[in-house]
Each structure stands twice: as structure tokens, then as C-alpha cells.
Amino acid sequence: MYHDVVEGDAYDASGFAGADAALYKLGREEFEAHLSAIAARAVGRPVTVEEFGGGAVGARPLLLTFDDGGVSAYTHAAPALERRGWRGHFFVTTGRVGAPAFLSREQIKELDGRGHVVGSHSATHPARMARCGYDEMLREWRTSAEVLSDITGRAVTAASVPGGYYSRRVAEAANEAGYRHLFTSEPRAGLHRVGDCLVIGRYTVQRWTTPQVAAAIAAGRLAPRLRQAVLWNAKKATKAVGGEFYLRARKALIGGG
């Protein structure tokens, strides 16, 4: 899972602004180094969910995804992939289409025409998708699908969960909205289905992720994937413990439930 690719340290030039978002953005040269390392080490070329769905891509397909819908999908990431004959998945926050630093309708249409998979990253990028009510989740998935299929002229069947806030309900809503591939931020290679929707984990690339680590993950090496899984689960556990502490503190303060 990649996000934006920028020139130098112009992190706000593409995608969401701010220091938190910048943690996931790579410089252009760094991104090129990632792709070279992946090309050197991965077992096969990266494929798309469309090929993946056909079942003819081998046991360990490699998929490259780009979240948020920043303009660098068009200006940097897609051209770099295409120079190698590769295609990616670009997940667009549809409420930002045409906004400064984000993709325009024309650019989205062109990416689709050039063989990339254009998918939804929700309509508004809610801070905590898994905390939204079911109707709100459904609205996020449906509205974004409508915007994208209006642009590309085809059904939108792939999506990624904003902020990595995944829950089974998030997948149920995506399934009901007609998506067939939902990418999470859960660092796992195993797949599962929720209804007709295939739920696919991802490994996150951050600014300090080296090309060697990205390539090792792409090659299916266990150590870097385990490291991400351990960190991810520790983060989740901290949240859960924090939540429980909050509930206990609240109970102590106001009494009862």
C-alpha cells in the first residue's frame, strides 16, 4: 500500500495535507528505487484484481495499490509503473475529485483508460469508518461508486478502507454497495470473503520504508511481514486497553454502566 509520490519534500503537493499524511508519502527517486528493488526481487510482475479474479496469476500474486486519490497518481505513480509495463490500483476519495492536490475527473478517466484499476476510497474519508453507522458506511461506498462510474463509464468493483479502520460491517456495507474487492490495512496475506466481496489485506509503505523492505514484502518474505503484523496488533491492543480503561474510568466517575 502506497500513497503519494512527491518531488523532494513537497509533501503537500499531492493528497491530504499535513504531517500525518506526509508519513506515507515517498519522494520520486525513492519511489523509483522501490520499483527497481521490487522488479529485482518479486516472483512475478504486479497484477490487477481483474487478473487476480481470473485465477490465472499464480499462487502469490503481487498487487500495488495507491490510496487517497492525490494528483501524483497521475503525474508520478502511474507513469513510473507504466515504464515497467505494470498497472496499479488507485483508490480515490471522491469528495476531493478536482480539488487542489487531488485527481481531476479527466485524469481519473485517463488512468482507467490506460489499464489501471480505479476504485473507491470512500466519499469523504471519514476519520473512523468502522465507527460510522451502517447507513453512513453504505452511503460512503455508494456515493463514491456513483461518482467513479459516472467518470469511467463502468461499474466500480474495488475499494480500499480509509484510514485502515476496518470492521466486518465495513465489508458488509461494501458488499451491499456492489464492491467485489475490498483492500484493508490489515497486514496479512490470507484472504476471506464477506458475501461476494473478497477482503484483501495490505502491507503499508511509509516514508522510511526502505526499497529492500518493500521488495522483501513483495517477494513474500515472512520476516518483514511478521514485523508489520506485530506492530499492527500491538497498536490495536493499545487502543483496546485504552478503550477499556476509559470505560472503567467512566464507570468510576458516574457509577453504574
Binding region for Zn ion (CB under 5 A): 67-68, 162
Least distance between Zn ion and beta carbon 219 (Å): 26
Residues whose CB falls within 8 Å of the CB of residue 257, separated by 6 or more in sequence, listed in order: 251
Give 17 or 222: the residue with its C-beta nearer to Zn ion. 17
What is the nearest approach in angstroms of Zn ion to the Cβ of residue 175?
A: 20
Q: Rank residues 73 and 215 by Cβ distance to Zn ion and give the closer one.
A: 73
Nearer to Zn ion, 4 or 67 (CB): 67
Handedness of CA 215, 107, 163, 199 (dihedral sign): negative
- Say which residue the cell 474510568 belongs to: 249
- Other CB atoms within 10 A of residue 33 CB: 17
Q: How far is the CB of 24 from Zn ion (least distance, A)?
A: 8
Q: Is 153 left (phi over 0), alpha (psi -120 to 50) or beta?
A: left
CB of 162 to Zn ion, least distance (A): 5
Nearer to Zn ion among residue 67 and residue 216 (C-beta): 67
What is the DSSP code (8-state) at residue 96? G
Say how far apart CA 181 and CA 176 lie, in whole Å.
12
